[in-house]
């Protein structure tokens, strides 16, 4: 059987959601006997680079904006390897892959991993990539988005999305799983029976940390009036000084119940501390943090943006899990409805169901198999329309019938 030759390309392997998904896809494709895989990055030295050790990897060593020689090096990589498909992640590598792979016989697939981008906040270079990618979108053989929200966003921005397909992110449930956390709680100064709400997100405007702080303050004060178990909030993610200062001001004397722990490489060790994984974003594509938290047994409460509802909804009716973005009152009511369950048997059942949702619907295997099916079909010149029908039928078959 002839192997399919796949070239996976990305800008760098610095820590980020898109980069982690790219590494996960690379690791799994490398295990497939039917795949001949090569990896390509513009820059070396990213924090995730050690995770692709043993997989053939070529770094183009781009030397800043003035270096255009990397394009010749990239074209040589493609010419020497002769991939059936080039699957790139993010604007730069989408553009460079199409440009350098032109007339070399490879199908070029763009990877879109974001949505609701505020173009006014982009640098001049990022705007240039955005609009160049828009111009070239009709020449890609396919576009893979990680959410329908992303697909809709680019479509509204005038991109050519008739060849776009959605492949949800996959969550490594062998890495993200429930753990014993009694000792860890003690080390962090959290009461053993405390009810813990956690958020995992960088301090960025769109993550709405002020809403998180206001809701945390109200929830902590509410728990004191109820004489229930103590409430603790934990934030994991890169801190931004101005936003953190605003949050601490909002929290006032309740801030002793809120831990801002910053970014963590071993985030999988922290998720199991949470009874609830909370997302307060007012824009989102596919939130890895919600899915990762659920895989660790956290019960979700999320703003209704992007694919958050799809991830978090496992048919639960014991509490309210969804609130409109920027709506403090509704967010607080969701937290209160879950808190009333405290450490009941019902809460433990919800935690088990939460993990099962991720294992069954957002597995790594599902993401890899769907991606590989698309790339293989493109290499065999199967039309996008036929692919869309096949993927739809597969999803229908997997969905539970009531």
Would you place residue 66 in the very low, low, confident or very high pLDDT band (cuts 50, 70, 90)?
Answer: confident
> Which residues lie closer than 8 Å to 322 by C-beta, 6 or more apart?
301, 302, 303, 304, 308, 309, 312, 313, 334
pTM for this entry: 0.89
Q: For residues 216 and 256, what is the distance between their CA atoms, to the nearest angstrom?
A: 11
CATH of the domain at 40: 3.40.50.2000
* Angle (CA) 363 90 211, round 5°: 70
Contacts with 178 (C-beta within 8 Å, 6 or more apart), sequence order:
272, 296, 297, 351, 355
Indicate the SS3 state at residue 86.
strand
Question: 115 and 189 share a domain?
Answer: no
- Return the pLDDT at 395: 63
Distance, CA of 270 to CA of 200 (rounded, Å): 10
Bridge-partner residues for 235, per DSSP? 199, 260
pLDDT at 350: 97
pLDDT at 402 over 80: no
d(CA 159, CA 181): 47
pLDDT for 370:
94
Tell me whether residue 15 is in a domain: yes
Indicate whether 38 belongs to any domain: yes
Tally of domains in the chain: 2
The reported pLDDT for the residue numbered 398 is 52
Over residues 282-293, the mean pLDDT reads 93
pLDDT of 48 strictly over 80: yes
Assess if residue 56 is contained within a domain.
Answer: yes
Answer whether residue 402 is part of any domain: no
How far apart (Å, rounded) are the C-alpha atoms in residues 367 and 286?
13
Give the mean pLDDT of 75-90: 96
Tens-digit pLDDT profile for residues 308-324? 999 999 999 999 999 99
Identify whether residues 140 and 277 lie together within a single domain.
Answer: no
Which of 40, 38, 47 is CA-nearest to residue 16? 47
Tokens standing for residue 148: 């329908």
Indicate if the pLDDT at residue 107 is higher than 80: yes
Same domain, yes or no: 266 and 382: no
Domain presence at residue 201 = yes
Q: Measuring CA to CA, which residue among 321, 327, 326 is closest to residue 308?
A: 321
pLDDT of residue 14: 87
- Spatial strand order of the sheet with 35-41 comes to 57-59, 35-41, 4-10, 85-88, 107-112, 142-145, 164-166
Output the pLDDT for position 265: 82
| Domain carrying residue 44 | 4-170+363-397
- Which pLDDT belongs to residue 400? 43
| Pair (241, 341) in one structural domain | yes
pLDDT digits (tens, 9 = 90+) for 3-42: 999 999 999 998 788 898 999 999 999 999 999 999 999 9
Q: Does 100 map to a domain?
A: yes
Do 279 and 391 lie in one domain? The reply is: no
Distance of alpha carbon 119 from its chain centroid, rounded?
21
What is the average pLDDT across 140-146? 96
Q: Do the domain assignments include residue 62?
A: yes
Question: Does one domain contain both 35 and 97?
Answer: yes
- Render pLDDT for 183-219 as a digit per residue (tens, 0 to 9): 999 999 999 999 999 999 999 999 999 999 999 999 9
Name the nearest CA neighbour of 282 among 183, 208, 174. 208
Domain-located, residue 175: no
Is the confidence at residue 287, as pLDDT, over 70? yes
- Mean pLDDT (whole number) for 255-283: 95
Same-domain pairing of 230 and 357 = yes
Do 294 and 379 fall within a single domain? no
Claim to verify: residue 340 and residue 368 sit in the same structural domain:
no
Tell me the average pLDDT across 146-160. 94
Q: What length is written for the chain? A: 402
Question: Across residues 106-110, what is the average pLDDT?
Answer: 96
CB atoms within 10 A of CB 331: 27
Regarding whether 245 and 318 lie in a shared domain, the answer is: yes
Among 319, 111, 279, smallest CA distance to 197 is for 279
pLDDT of 324-339, one tens digit each?
999 999 999 999 999 9
Same domain, 216 and 353: yes
Percent of the chain at pLDDT above 70? Answer: 98
Domain identity same for 345 and 210: yes
Q: Percentage helix, strand, coil, to 5, in the chain?
A: 50, 15, 35
């Amino acid at each position: 059987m002839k192997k399919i030759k796949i070239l996976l390309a990305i800008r760098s392997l610095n820590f980020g959601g898109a980069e982690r998904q790219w590494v996960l896809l690379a690791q799994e494709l490398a295990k497939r006997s039917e795949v001949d895989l090569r990896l390509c990055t513009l820059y070396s030295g990213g924090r995730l680079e050690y995770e692709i050790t043993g997989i053939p990897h070529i770094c183009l060593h781009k030397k800043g904006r003035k270096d255009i020689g990397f394009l010749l090096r990239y074209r040589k990589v493609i010419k020497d390897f002769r991939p059936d498909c080039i699957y790139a992640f993010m604007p730069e590598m989408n553009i460079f892959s199409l440009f350098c792979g032109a007339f070399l016989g490879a199908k070029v697939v763009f990877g879109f991993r974001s949505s609701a981008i505020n173009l006014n906040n982009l640098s001049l270079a990022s705007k240039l990539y955005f609009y160049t990618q828009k111009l070239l979108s009709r020449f890609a053989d396919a576009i893979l988005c990680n959410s329908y929200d992303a697909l809709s966003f680019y479509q509204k921005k005038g991109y050519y999305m008739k060849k776009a397909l959605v492949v949800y992110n996959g969550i490594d449930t062998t890495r993200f799983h429930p753990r014993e956390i009694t000792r860890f709680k003690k080390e962090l100064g959290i009461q053993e029976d405390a009810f813990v709400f956690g958020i995992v997100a960088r301090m960025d405007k769109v993550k709405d940390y002020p809403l998180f702080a206001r809701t945390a303050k109200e929830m902590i004060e509410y728990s004191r009036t109820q004489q229930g178990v103590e409430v603790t909030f934990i934030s994991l993610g890169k801190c931004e000084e101005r936003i953190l200062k605003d949050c601490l001001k909002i929290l006032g004397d309740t801030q002793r119940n809120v831990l801002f722990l910053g970014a963590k490489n071993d985030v999988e060790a922290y998720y199991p501390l949470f009874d609830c994984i909370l997302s307060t974003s007012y824009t989102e594509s596919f939130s890895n943090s919600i899915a990762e938290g659920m895989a660790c047994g956290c019960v979700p409460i999320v703003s209704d943006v992007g694919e958050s509802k799809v991830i978090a909804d496992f048919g639960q009716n014991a509490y309210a899990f969804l609130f409109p973005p920027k709506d403090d009152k509704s967010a607080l009511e969701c937290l209160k409805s879950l808190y009333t369950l405290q450490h009941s048997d019902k809460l433990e059942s919800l935690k088990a169901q939460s993990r099962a949702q991720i294992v069954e619907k957002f597995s790594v295997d599902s993401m890899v198999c769907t991606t590989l099916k698309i790339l293989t079909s493109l290499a065999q010149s199967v039309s996008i329309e036929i692919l869309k029908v096949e993927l739809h039928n597969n999803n229908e078959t997997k969905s539970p019938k009531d």
